[in-house]
Structure 1
């Protein structure tokens, strides 16, 4: 299976600007999408040919800057390409690059490269169907499964790649955002529910220029998020719509149509893209993620205000929500924790002392800002809850008079089967401890979550999009967009 990832594609305009290095541009974009995956990354480029000698590939494990040296990028020739950065999951892939994307397969119609973000909810069923047709699979990756399904020729018109993509969409309702490269074209695809983000951008000659349609584009890009655009000289054109297939060539891009959802059900864009996953400077549904997180903080304050001296946060993803909470209540925002930026992701520690040491290594207290204060500490979400206890203890030991926890999202109670590596129900703190006992469990004076209704309102209030709004809240409510298949 695949999980939370970043995908990116680029194609140059015709005539091809000789000073535009596609591999370098894709690498820069993947660095901008690094928050969507830190386990592995890959880039595939081409001049538009369909033979093995026409396609250039480099993949590896680790961060983007560790994988792509100058010589590696110089070897990635071509005027179009796709890139991928992969989230570290419990499955992992060790030193084996089999599961590292983009996937490249040699078909009877030439080489095909695919980058995928998401997780197929009916992967087991589709895997059985592919194997029955005599196709071998080298991994349990949904992305390889998608690649092989695209390679199976429709008998009526074997060269019709848009038809192949349409058949894929019809065979699986979610979850996927795809960038597909074949010959001289890229295809950008979202599942009919629009569960994962995907957008199209225009490459300009002048970096960070204001849009000027009188200037010719030097290329087009497709990306999981808009956040890399400013660093590569691109501007957002629009999002790929749920169920849409967009064809991108050196001449520009065009929509090949939109496939509807079963029984006219609403879209199901992952609401946690707003809460935590997307970078705060990205735009989703016409609104900046940072602004939505501030709105979540305002809504949280509206629902669960409490008297205190300062509002603060656990750096850094919850900072916008804390500022929104502060703005609504008038309680000043004050930093209480200094984050050590050279410490990686936290690991679950088996003892209280080790958990406290892990927090102490990652955060240092601003004692003068804490001592004698009643503190509201805002977090964006609580999953396992393994670090909140030592975090509260750190504030208490630094002299905090009171500690009130406010969470800018509802309790997470259910696993996600659409691309987010959420733990099992038994591991989730909201299922292990009664909500009215959580404050005591963490050592805080009080704890309140944002309600599901409050989160939906905060996310939808300022959205600017022509399409129908709809968000997946399955990890919060257990109501999945479609019936799960096992």
Structure 2
């Protein structure tokens, strides 16, 4: 049996480094060193043994852990309502929906569509690159005629970025083809991979998402051979792996939307209405042109959809041409709270998205206000590292009574440094990313708000830039706590050794990055900023009290901050 990492301990690093025999062969071809020895019992993953220097490296400095597949992705589905064939342009709706999720993945994309009625094979188009590069008018023609479909946009956080790992995955089952799109990362992927292979199931990619697809295709023991029980298959998957996944499963004329019992990754449903009726009165009486489901609600407005509701943790939702129906809610172990990723609020999500009944922008602003309470400073102005930290900077400025003034302008055509997989590209990106508005701060004391400091590679050159342009003082305030641990549930957070909070320099961080002072928001401050509105709504709205009994205790995953993971990490 592989070692089990219970809520943050164990030998995950060893198994992540070792991998399959095929992975070992690939490392040898790349000139990588051998995997590390298993860590001592009880030692946390990421802590190197004597002489290991963080677990071994391969040519180019890539750590062995970074050879695994870890994803942060976006999923989007659409189904036309009413009579079929529909006049709704499903491929274009999905494409525009994926454009709204482009920030969640910029390396590859794919769409699978179907007419939902014939035995004709699914229509599939996938490619590497941005959405607008992958889907041209000619490529979209291959996806017609269609009444429903699902799409996916992806980036590999550290693993293989190639066409074979593009989603959605399509597989033939005893009851016809299914297509699956997945956002997240399985915490017991290695065991599931071995289990499938023992049953003679071949795997052609290194993606967790293919494991999910094959597990769904696998017939549960009690299923009748003549009829597919997709609820039973989905529940079987959920019993096999507790987290992390938000899934779209398409079979014939149905889309199933599924969220893991801990609700670690987001998923929500929207309703397509006639464009002229979007802001009209009598919402309940308006025509429904179709249903959409997305990782984030920010993708709805551009396609003429309105936010309908969130998929609950553990919920299995059936979306058909007729309606949206909850088929089941799979509970967590008794006493376990939900574990929605708090980093979605901090950085990754678009500010206009809605999670847990609140807009991300509002949460970030509250984080800034809380930061002003915890870490006041004498200064002349408050500014931000554009753009995700802007709401926090506005909240900080409002709370401490200082003016908010821009000191940096962003080159919008340079990608986020956080998700560029190569360190050299990341560092070069910083130099090209910002311009300086020096007239706004010459001779003044600046409080610069950032949403997070992960490696420390971005903030130091920015401070240097501000000082060289005339800033008298530069004080850094970070609207989230220090990130100390990797994420194993779907977000690109580096190994422990790369994180600035785990380096000796962190004890004198202000001097190390060239700032006059540096203060982070506390873990308690972040959690209270996120949960304040949720708890208030639960107390005041009756329907939320009902859902609370179904969903269980509200919580958030803060494992990257504390090392306390919501589930066992089994490798």
- Asked whether the two chains share a fold, i.e. TM above 0.5, the reply is yes
Alignment partner, residue 233 of structure 1: 304
1:76-475 residue pairs with structure 2 within 5 A?
76-77=143-144, 78-94=146-162, 97-157=163-223, 158=225, 159-206=228-275, 208-210=278-280, 212-346=283-417, 358-463=429-534, 464=537, 466=544, 467=548, 468-475=553-560
CA-to-aligned-CA distance 1:1-25 (integer Å, 9 cap, x gap): 3411000111111224743100000
Structure 1 residue matching 2:324: 3-state secondary structure: strand
Matching residue within 37, 56, 71 for 2:138: 71
TM-score for both structures, normalised by structure 1: 0.96
Q: CA deviation at 1:57?
A: 0.4
Aligned partners of 2:272 and 2:291 also within 8 Å: yes
Partners of 2:309 and 2:88 lie apart in 1 by: 23
Aligned partners of 1:193 and 1:261 also within 8 Å: yes
Partners of 2:324 and 2:279 lie apart in 1 by: 21
Kindly indicate whether residue 547 of structure 2 is the aligned counterpart of residue 479 of structure 1: no
Partners of 1:349 and 1:149 lie apart in 2 by: 35
Q: What is the total number of aligned residue pairs between the two structures?
A: 480
Provide closer, same or farther for how the CA distance between residues 18 and 149 of structure 1 changes in structure 2, counting only shifts above 3 A. Answer: closer
Partners of 2:82 and 2:486 lie apart in 1 by: 46
Partners of 2:351 and 2:385 lie apart in 1 by: 16
Alignment partner, residue 82 of structure 2: 14
Partners of 2:241 and 2:168 lie apart in 1 by: 20
CA-to-aligned-CA distance 1:428-451 (integer Å, 9 cap, x gap): 001013544000101111000000
Structure 1 residue matching 2:221: 3-state secondary structure: coil
Task: Using the TM superposition, name which of 275-284 and 147-156 deviates more.
Answer: 147-156
Aligned partners of 2:430 and 2:458 also within 8 Å: yes
Aligned partners of 1:48 and 1:54 also within 8 Å: no
Partners of 1:225 and 1:263 lie apart in 2 by: 28
Q: CA deviation at 1:350?
A: 6.2
Partners of 1:359 and 1:392 lie apart in 2 by: 12
Q: CA deviation at 1:63?
A: 0.3
The runs of 5 or more residues in structure 1 that have no matched partner are none
Provide closer, same or farther for how the CA distance between residues 200 and 292 of structure 1 changes in structure 2, counting only shifts above 3 A. Answer: same
Q: CA deviation at 1:212?
A: 1.1
CA-to-aligned-CA distance 1:441-479 (integer Å, 9 cap, x gap): 011110000000000000011124623421000000000
Aligned partners of 2:392 and 2:449 also within 8 Å: yes
Partners of 2:513 and 2:555 lie apart in 1 by: 34
TM-score for both structures, normalised by structure 2: 0.82
Q: CA deviation at 1:384?
A: 0.6
Partners of 1:120 and 1:6 lie apart in 2 by: 16
Partners of 2:407 and 2:473 lie apart in 1 by: 13
Partners of 1:440 and 1:396 lie apart in 2 by: 14
Aligned partners of 2:80 and 2:86 also within 8 Å: no
Q: CA deviation at 1:423?
A: 0.5
Partners of 2:164 and 2:429 lie apart in 1 by: 33
CA-to-aligned-CA distance 1:122-159 (integer Å, 9 cap, x gap): 00111111111110000111100000000011232241
CA-to-aligned-CA distance 1:274-329 (integer Å, 9 cap, x gap): 00011000000111100110000000001001010000011111001000000100
Q: CA deviation at 1:253?
A: 1.1
Structure 1 residue matching 2:498: 3-state secondary structure: coil
Structure 2 residue matching 1:162: 3-state secondary structure: helix
1:31-50 residue pairs with structure 2 within 5 A?
31-49=99-117
CA RMSD, 1 decimal: 1.7
Partners of 2:270 and 2:515 lie apart in 1 by: 46
Q: CA deviation at 1:216?
A: 2.2
Aligned partners of 1:118 and 1:177 also within 8 Å: yes
Structure 2 residue matching 1:170: 3-state secondary structure: helix
Provide closer, same or farther for how the CA distance between residues 147 and 359 of structure 1 changes in structure 2, counting only shifts above 3 A. Answer: closer
Partners of 1:331 and 1:90 lie apart in 2 by: 41
Q: CA deviation at 1:362?
A: 1.5
Provide closer, same or farther for how the CA distance between residues 105 and 385 of structure 1 changes in structure 2, counting only shifts above 3 A. Answer: same
Alignment partner, residue 57 of structure 2: none
Structure 2 residue matching 1:481: 3-state secondary structure: coil
